[in-house]
Amino acid sequence: MKTIVFDIGETLVRDDRHWSSWADWLGVPPHTVSALVGAAVVRGRDCTDALRVLRPDMDVSEAYHARAAAGRGEHLDETDLYPDVRPALAELRALGLRVVVAGDRTARAGELLRALDLPADLVVTSGDWGVGKPDREFFSRVLEVSGAAPEATLYVGDHPADDLFPAKSAGLRAAHIRRGPCGHWWADHPDVMETADWRISSLTELPALLGGAGRRKPAAGPRKLHALPGQTAPPEAAPPGAEHTEQPERSEPEHTRGPEQSERSRA
């Protein structure tokens, strides 16, 4: 492995502040928004649906800009990072690996992340690129900045439909992290278990695994994306921005996409 690429939301950054800020804006308790986000996750829906339940006629993108204009826009600081982020990224770089952060966030979020001076060679967002996951073009960009062959590039994320499956379809290796609502809920789904080269609970597991201490699946070529239970087609077959269809009770995955990602660019 030569390059490790990390998703952002619920891989490196906690989404607590994100959803609490929306609860404040809408004038509802944070627990209400969190519960609705959880309901969206278990049904395999876009998490923006949580906000649409509360305000059915709300244009989430317009509301995002209204929040920013009112001085209540995005904010990220050191407290938003999971505690294993800095030590894990630093150790991976010490092993001689290229470390890239590339996920669904706005361009403004990219500025805030770069200001944190993470131990990474590059920090870039879907807002910077103008294309978001699970679009194949996003992962083409990932490979461009990777500087390595697909089979020597590992994408790490919590969201099967946005991270794991499209990364594997593009020929990359993929690690699924059991973190955040989506990462926990879908961790033991058969398609996740079959597809992921590695399944981890902490980023600090990666240096040992990539150093040869852990078992991994043999390299494989690009594969067709999985259609999760309740989906009528794999994610790449859906038009950009299309929401996943509903799934049965303990159906299975979608990431905690936030409102700022409604334009395929999560903040």
- pLDDT (tens digit, 9 = 90+) per residue, 168-218? 999 999 999 999 999 999 999 999 999 999 999 999 999 999 875 434 454
- pLDDT (tens digit, 9 = 90+) per residue, 111-124? 999 999 999 999 99
Alpha carbon distance 30, 191 (integer Å): 32
- pLDDT (tens digit, 9 = 90+) per residue, 222-233? 444 454 444 434
Alpha carbon distance 267, 160 (integer Å): 19
CB 215: neighbour CB atoms within 10 A?
8
Predicted pLDDT of residue 48: 86
Q: Report residue 163: phi and psi, to 5°.
A: -110, -65
User: What is the band of 221 on the pLDDT scale with cuts at 50, 70, 90?
Assistant: very low
Q: Do the Cβ atoms of 25 and 63 come closer than 8 Å?
A: yes
Return the percentage of the chain with pLDDT > 70, whole number: 79
Whole-Å CA distances, 54 to 36, 61, 74, 122, 238: 9, 15, 21, 37, 26
Return the percentage of the chain with pLDDT > 90, whole number: 67
Across residues 127-153, what is the average pLDDT? 96
Mean pLDDT, the chain, whole residue set: 83
Q: Does the pLDDT value for residue 245 go beyond 50? A: no
Predicted pLDDT of residue 212: 53
Whole-Å CA distances, 255 to 125, 180, 207, 252: 16, 9, 25, 11
* Helices (H), ranges, 105-164: 107-115, 126-129, 136-146
Across residues 134-139, what is the average pLDDT? 96
